[in-house]
Structure 1
Amino acid sequence: MTRGPMPSPGPEQQRARTTDRPVDGGPQHLGEEGTGAPQPVRHDGRVDRTLVHVVRHGEVHNPEDILYGRLPGYHLSERGRAMADLVAEALAGRDIALLVASPLERAQETAAPIARATGRTIETDVRVIESENSFEGRQVTAKKGALSEPRSWPLLWNPLRPSWGEAYKSIAARMDAALREAARAARGHEAVIVSHQLPIWTLRSHLEGRPLTHDPRKRECSLASVTTFDLTGDEVHAVYYSEPAASLLPGASSVPGA
C-alpha cells in the first residue's frame, strides 16, 4: 500500500535535561547532545499519547562514496542489515500499530526486519523519501568530487534554501504531513516511519523551532537511529533520540544520501 502524494520537486542514558524553551515555543528535547539512548522511549499506555518513531535506514553499500539520493540500486550493506536487525529487536514486543517506509530500497530493507518483529505490513509513503539533490550520482567528499568543480559553483549560491536541492521548507512540510497522518492512524499506540537523514533532521528542526539551515556535520541522526516524536492528542510535546545500533557505528560509512 502506498500513502501520500508524491512530493513536489524542488551511549547510555536518555537525556536527563530538557530545553529551557517553554512548551508553546516547541517540544522538549530529551537526551545528551550528540549521544543517543540505547533504546527508544516506550509508551506508557495513556490513551491520549502517541509515539512516532522515525528511523533512519542502516548503512548502504556505497564503495565509490557516491551521493546516491533517490537513485535506485543502492542497498543496505552487510553492516546495514545488522543495524536494521538491532532496530527491529529494539522495537519488538511494542504496541506498534503502523509501519511506514520510504519507497527507496535502503528504507524498505531497513523496514523489513521491523515488519517481521512487529507483525506489521510495510506501507510505502513517498512523502518520507530522500530529498532531491542536484549532486545526486556524484562524489561530494571534502577532498574530491562535485563541490570542487567550477561547473558546480552556480548551484551553491543560496545555502539557505538550499539552491542545490529540494527546499528545506518543502521537506519539512511533507515530513510533517506524513508524521501527523501516522500519528492519527496509530492514535494511543506507536508508529514507525523509516526515512532518511536530511528529511528526519529537517522535520525535527521544524518541530523544535530551529532554523532549517544547518551544518550537515552536526545533524543528530546517525545510521539506524530512532528519533521519537511524543504526541498528546495532535501536539508534539517532546522529542527523544536513541541509537539501538550504536555498537555498529564505528567504521560505518559517513557519506549521507543527500
Structure 2
Amino acid sequence: MNRFLRALWTAVVVLGVGLVIGGMVAQLGGGTGVDHRPALVGMALVAVWIVVRVVARPARDVPEAGGPGRAGVVGYVLVLVLGVTVAVYPAREAIGDRVQAIGDNEPSFDMREPEALEAALAAFSERAGHRQVVEVTLNRSMVWARMPIEPGELLVRVWGYQDGDLTEAGRGNDAIHPTSADEQFSLDEVAWDQILPAWNRARAEFVAETGEEPTGAIEIYVRRTRGDEPRTGPVQVHFSFPGAARWRYSMNADGSGLTREQR
C-alpha cells in the first residue's frame, strides 16, 4: 500500500473514531432520542479497519517505517474533530438544554417527555406486577403512581420515579387509599405521548393571552373524574396554570378534547 493510500485509510479510521466519540458525547449530553447513525457509521469504519489489519492482513505485510510527520498529525487531529462534530451537531440543542438545566439546578431531562414517562410507567408496572393504577401525577422532574397492591384491592402503594430511580413514597396511610376499587384504571387506557404536546398547546395559549410564562411546579394529574361515586367516571388528564387567573385544563385519556375553564 503506497503512502497516499495509507494516509487516506488512516484518515478514514480516525474519522470513524471521532464519530464514535462524538456519538458517546451526544448520548451522555443529549439523553434519549439522539441520532445514533453517525456513531454506528464510525463503529462500522473501525470494525472494517480491525478486519483488514488484524484478520485479512498477510503475515508478510510489514508496515513501512516512518510516521506521518507533524503535518500529518495535525491533519488527523482535524479529521478526529470533524468526526466528533458530525456526531454531536444534531444533538447540540438537547446538550445545551441539559447543560443549562444543570446550571439552573433543574432536572437534566423532562419526565413529561414520552420516552422518559414510558420508562417510569414500565418501572412501576415491573415493581407492582400489574398495570392498574388509581392515579398518576407527574411534573417536569418526577412521576408518582398510586397503585393497588393487587388489582381490585383498596390498599395501595405510592411509587415515585426520578432520575431513573424507583422509590416507595408511601403506604399504610388511609388517606392515600381510594374509597372504591372502581377508581382503578389501566395504564394502557391513556395516550401518554399526548400529554406533553397538550401541555405545550395550553402553555402557548396562556402566554399568548397573559404575556407571561406559567410559573411554579405545575403538576399533571391522570385519574378518573367524579361519577355516581367519587372518581368512578371516565379517565381524564388535568392540570392548571397559576397566574392573574387560575386556568384549569382537562383532556380525554386518548389525547382528544383539550379544554380550558378560566376562573
Larger relative contact order (C-alpha < 8 A, sep ≥ 6)? 1
TM-score (norm 1): 0.22
TM-score (norm 2): 0.22
- 1 or 2, which has the higher helix percentage? 2
Larger Rg: 2
